[in-house]
Structure 1
């Protein structure tokens, strides 16, 4: 019974957090991030302002907290990879799994809510800055994992930056095509092949890339 009660409490907490999150994103999309107060979000979600801060420490966290863990995805893929698997192979494998799952973190989820989050971020300078900082922190986390394994922090940083920017470029391409009017299904149709080509370029190096005729 105690376990069931704990499970129920946890589910209720998750439901409350999700309600607050969706309410906040809806208001931010409608009115703009700066024009919406935390009190307004609390009232719309039918919770207290203190409850909002209990679940989300800051107003910016109302946008980023549920998705910020994804900036650590490359480091997690490399840290947890199997013996004999390269860093490039691990990041590529993970990215392809996210593509297959149509994960919101790679811009392929068909639910409009996922697109709305990006629209809020791109329309708000302070949120764009936080996204950049979070991405850089993710690259540094990956570099630290690689440096610990290889003992060469300089090459680890170069490798991490390359892998991170490759992922970012692929995700941005998904969003660019969606912004241009393609459906998530159309973008997803060749997303895996595009990702394979991108990571093959990283894996094989740039020595034969863009040789001028």
Structure 2
């Protein structure tokens, strides 16, 4: 008797999460370049081919954590209420993220989150792979904003603003400040940055 599809999907997701958590733990402890795919497979007690079924590249073992936010800006624009401008909806969404200390805003001082961001920002292959995710997000946002060069320009500007704000917030925390202390500046910076968008 075969197991139900829902159960199989949940087991697969748990396995994926466990492999990803094992990999990130090893990367944070030893550095991205010092940990091999073989090391991760051994620590996760799976074969290398099994690992690659879940994560096509070594970089994906880290960046899968961004998957929940993939296409988020486009979803915010599509889901905004009547009469709300796209930039206003995106600004409010980012501010809500700051208030929740969402790691994607850079405003989170949990040691593992700070270390994770340091890993991503200081490892060239991860930063390069993250750029690919951002290009896909930009395309999705441009599509949500409408057709033409104006939509593409605005999408690029919005995502650049979010990236710069998040990196600035993370850097202040990496320099030793608390997220609570940085919060008022992060909100003011976001308000200023979004006000400059068309």
TM-score category, normalised to shorter length: 0.7 to 0.9
1:102 deviates by: 1.5
TM-score (norm 2): 0.85
Q: Counterpart of 1:177?
A: 172
User: Partner of 2:146: helix, strand, or coil?
Assistant: helix
From the superposition, tell whether residues 111 and 92 of structure 1 become closer, same or farther in structure 2 (CA, over 3 Å).
Answer: same
Q: Counterpart of 1:102?
A: 101
Q: After TM superposition, list the pairs within 5 Å mapping 1:89-128 onto structure 2.
A: 89-128=88-127
Counterpart-to-counterpart distance in 1, 2:8 and 2:113: 27
1:24 deviates by: 0.8
Q: Counterpart of 2:33?
A: 34
1:7 deviates by: 6.2
| Contact 1:25/1:116, CA 8 A, preserved across alignment | no
**What is the aligned length?**
197
1:170 deviates by: 1.1
| Contact 2:95/2:190, CA 8 A, preserved across alignment | yes
User: Partner of 1:159: helix, strand, or coil?
Assistant: helix
TM-score (norm 1): 0.80
1:6 deviates by: 6.3
| Contact 2:138/2:159, CA 8 A, preserved across alignment | yes
Shift >6 Å, 4+ stretches: none
1:12 deviates by: 4.2
Q: After TM superposition, list the pairs within 5 Å mapping 1:12-161 onto structure 2.
A: 12-148=11-147, 153-161=148-156
Name the larger-Rg structure.
Answer: 1
Unaligned runs of 5+ in 2: none
1:69 deviates by: 4.4
* CA root-mean-square deviation: 2.4
User: Partner of 1:65: helix, strand, or coil?
Assistant: helix
| Contact 2:77/2:90, CA 8 A, preserved across alignment | yes
Higher relative contact order, structure no. (Cα contacts within 8 Å, ≥ 6 residues apart):
2
Counterpart-to-counterpart distance in 2, 1:159 and 1:178: 29
